[in-house]
Structures are given as C-alpha cells and as structure tokens.
Amino acid sequence: MDRVRREYGDDSLDGLVPPSHRNSHSSLELEAADDDDDSSFAPSSFSPAATAATPKRSLLFYLATISAFIIIYRTEVILGVALSISIGIAISTSFHHRHPKFNPFEHAQITNDYTEIKSKYDLTLGSIDHWCLRGGDNACRCEDPLEPMSRRSNPKWEEQHTENIKVAQAAMMKLFSSSSNEKYEPSYDDKWVEGYDDDWIYGEGSRFGTDDYKVSSSTQTQSNVETVGYEEDDDDGYSVPMERPAKNETDRRRYLEDYELDVVFIGDSITEQRQGTSKARPDERYTGIKEVFDKTFTKEKGGEFNGIAMGISGDTSPNLLWRLLNGEMPYGLTPKVWWVGIGINDLSMTGCSEEVVLLGILRVVEEIQLKNPDSIIVINSLLPVQRNRDGLLEHSESHHKKVALKDKENNLPEDEMSDNRMDVDLWPSIVAINDELSKFASKHPKIKFFNAENVFVEEREDGKYMKIDLFEDPVHPNLAGHKKWNGEIKKRLHEILKDGA
C-alpha cells in the first residue's frame, strides 16, 4: 500500500484506484464489508443484479433444450401431440355420454305412507316434504290440496259447472222416477240453480240435447196430460205436466221406470270431452267422443250401462272437490260407481309435487265415500303426457332424457300444447302417483284402481312409449283412444257390478 501511495499520492487514492481493485475478492475487502456493513464492498456475485440474472439464464437454457429436442425429434413430437389430443377427445366424449347413476324414478318416489287413511279427517299436510314439483314450497302455483277451491271468476267455468249440475239433477230425477215409493223434494241447496227455475227437471244439460218430454201447451186439456211419477190426487206442486207418451215412447217410459245409474264420471277436460264440450262450448272435435260415450253408457241408446259425465277443462283436485260440494254431488245421486279422473293439472299446470297431487286425489275420494258409503269408487290412473314427437316416456338416464326432450313442447305447434305446461318430464312423477293410488285402493274394499297404462302406453325395445296415435294432442285422447278406453272400462265395470270384484 505504501508503494501505491507513493506512486499515486494519498489524497487521490480513492478516486484513482482501478475498479478491478475495489471489486477484488480479497479477504481484507470481505472483512471490511462485514465490519463496516457497506454494500458497496460486496462482491459482484452477491449483488442483486447478479442474483436476478441467474434464473433468467436457466430459463433460456431450458427453452433452448426443449427447442432442440423438438427440432431433433419433431416427427415423434407431432405424433405424440396428435395421440394426446385424440385420447383427450375420446375421454371427454365418454364422460359426457356416460350414463350417470341418477334415476328420476327414485327422485319422484313418495316417501310417506297414506294407504291406511280411513277418512278425510286423517289427511294432513304436516308430513309434506316439498310442495313444488321442482323442489321447495314457493316456486309453483300449488294450492292446499285438502281445501275446496272454485274458479267461479271464470265465466266459462261457471257455465260448465251449472251444466254439470243440470246433468246430475236430470239423472237424479230419473232415479226417483223409477221408484214408486219415493218422490223428490228439492232441498235448500238445489233451489239456487237457475234462480229457482226447475228447467233441469226436463233433462236439459250438456248430455241432453232435447227434453225427455215436452211441456204441454196451455191449450191442452187436463185430460190429455199426466204427472210423471205421481198420482194426480197426490200432486205436491213440484210435479210437471207432461204429454202422454205415444206408442213409440212406450219403451222410453219403461226405460225411465227401470232406470239405474251405474256410473258417474267426474274429472277435468278429459272427462269433459265425453260431454262433447271444451270450456263450456260445443267442440266438433269431441262430437264423436260424446256419441261413443252415449252409445256405451246409455242403455236407451244400446249401451250396457247407464252413466253420466261431468268434467271441466283445467280443473285440479281442489276445483273438483268444490264442485262436488256445491251441486255436482247432490243428495240422492247414488250411482253404483263413481269414476274419478283428476290430478294431471295439479301436476303439470300448477306444479304440485307428487305427494301434494296424491293428497288432493285422496281428498276427493274420501269426500265421495263419506257421502256415498254404498258406492264403489274407481280411481283412474293419470294418463301419460307427450313430451316429444316420438312419445318416449320411460328413460332413467341423462342421455335418454336429452333425447326425449329434444322436441319438447316449445318446439311443437302452438295449438298442440298449452303455454302453461312446464318444460319437465312428467312420466316418473305419474308412475309414482299411480303406484301410490294402486296401493291405497288395495287396502280399501270399496275403492278400486283402474290402470289405463295398458291402453295408452306400449313397451318397445328401447323403453316405454306413449301411443300418440290415440291422442288428439299431448294430453287428450282422440276418438280412437276413447273407444279403446271405453272398452276397457266396460270390462272393469262388468267385474265390479256383475261379479262383485
């Protein structure tokens, strides 16, 4: 150091020392750096710049290595990439089309047991898990299934309800006319019909195009008229003068005297079809259905049984319950069989869960049984609802469900499907409800279950299909469907009425 001082001078030592001397790695400099804690004396290999440069060189090294590998083995790399892409596509396709273990039929099951219900007073809502078909309690228009509910704000509904009352009263009058020991006296509830007007006595209604008998004109003498069902000296003021039957009316009078009401069909629009009407208006599409019904369930027209039908389009179980309590099940209307067809609107239009739909049907059944303990009640199964053009119904896997719904209702013509119906598959729910109704009927001797699946559903190799050739639209049977259905109903009625089954 003395030699250096002598050569460069003491005052200019720091500024004249070459940089290489300041960056040398001598032990003295390292000790000075440690003692003085001065970063300027740290060797370059420990500086931040040097530290950052190291990983950058490593990354470039690896990139260069990979590039060299690709250039040298480019053919193998291309083939490997292509093979990897192919395997990925195959795995992805297999995953998406793989059938999951989710089973909608298990999801639609009703867990609570209602088979031991003995009366309407045993029915409660406390055990309902969810009210709506899609889950939850507030995502649907479902009403209390145990309480009657009218639709009297709808004029067409009110009109059809009044027509149904006329049908019920006309059938009841025939029943009373066939018994010489009884005569009908209108009750308080009956008098509101048509504002005290007894025009229902003449048999007017949606199934009665003309009166059974014409009222005598005022010019006729009393000797040319007679009172049907009563003696002249026992007239209580309710009898109606009728023309004496001509010779060609002898059979009609005998028919009235021997009249028995075998079956009353009650329900929704499917039942209203049998009356030849839709929303209280005559419908040409259903004229043939009405004629077939009359020929099957009117002995006077060649049928094997006497029956009437009372239905209203769009009705749910609470709506039917209200109708029965307000005129459509009057005291004295005592058929041998009540045939109940209700529930599909509860499921599809108001979105009620399977359990709520079941409770609504059972509430109607128990009300009928309470008022008619001697009658047999037949619960008709819920009919299938079309959800695709092919009519595929039963599919327990996700892939099949997508196939079934690819032509769902919003792709159908507007006149073939109601806008109110939900875009869901209803068949699993229908099966679950029908199964519970069948179990319930098996526990009660006066209640029967009629499964219409054999009429409207067929089994194919790839699943169950709805017989769409038997339907007018996705919901309502056509004339051919009603013919087949009536034939099976006749067989069941023979079993019930003839054999006591």
68/18 same-domain check: no
Q: What is the pLDDT of residue 466?
A: 94
Domain count, the chain: 3
Confidence of residue 439 (pLDDT cuts 50, 70, 90): very high
309/361 same-domain check: yes
79/214 same-domain check: no
Q: What is the pLDDT of residue 176?
A: 83
Q: Among 97, 131, 161, where does a domain finish? A: 97
207/161 same-domain check: yes
Q: Identify the weakest region by mean pLDDT among 30-44, 252-266, 391-405, 431-445.
A: 30-44
Predicted confidence (pLDDT) per residue in 16-48, tens digit: 444 444 444 444 344 444 444 444 444 444 454
**Residues 274, 476 contacting (CB under 8 angstroms):** no
Q: Identify the weakest region by mean pLDDT among 31-40, 136-145, 203-212, 263-272.
A: 203-212
> How far is residue 163 CA from its own chain's centroid?
28
**Residues 235, 270 contacting (CB under 8 angstroms):** no
More confident residue, 45 or 122: 122
Examine the pLDDT at 404 and tell me if it is beyond 90. no
341/246 same-domain check: yes
197/266 same-domain check: yes
More confident residue, 189 or 215: 189
Q: What is the pLDDT of residue 231?
A: 38
219/149 same-domain check: yes
Examine the pLDDT at 92 and tell me if it is beyond 90. no
Pairing of strands 225-227, 241-243: antiparallel
Examine the pLDDT at 137 and tell me if it is beyond 80. yes
pTM (predicted TM-score): 0.66
Examine the pLDDT at 170 and tell me if it is beyond 50. yes
What sign does the dihedral 228-229-231-232 (CA atoms) show?
Answer: negative
Examine the pLDDT at 219 and tell me if it is beyond 50. no
354/259 same-domain check: yes
Q: What is the pLDDT of residue 212?
A: 34
71/36 same-domain check: no
What is the span of the domain harbouring residue 93?
55-97
141/32 same-domain check: no
CA atoms within 13 A on the CB side of 393: 22
372/482 same-domain check: yes
CATH number of the domain at 467, please: 3.40.50.1110
Sequence-distant (≥ 6) Cβ neighbours of residue 260 within 8 angstroms: 175, 178, 306, 336
* Highest-scoring range by mean pLDDT, 58-62, 95-99, 183-187, 351-355: 351-355
368/296 same-domain check: yes
**Residues 369, 328 contacting (CB under 8 angstroms):** no
Examine the pLDDT at 84 and tell me if it is beyond 80. yes
What sign does the dihedral 299-303-305-306 (CA atoms) show?
Answer: negative
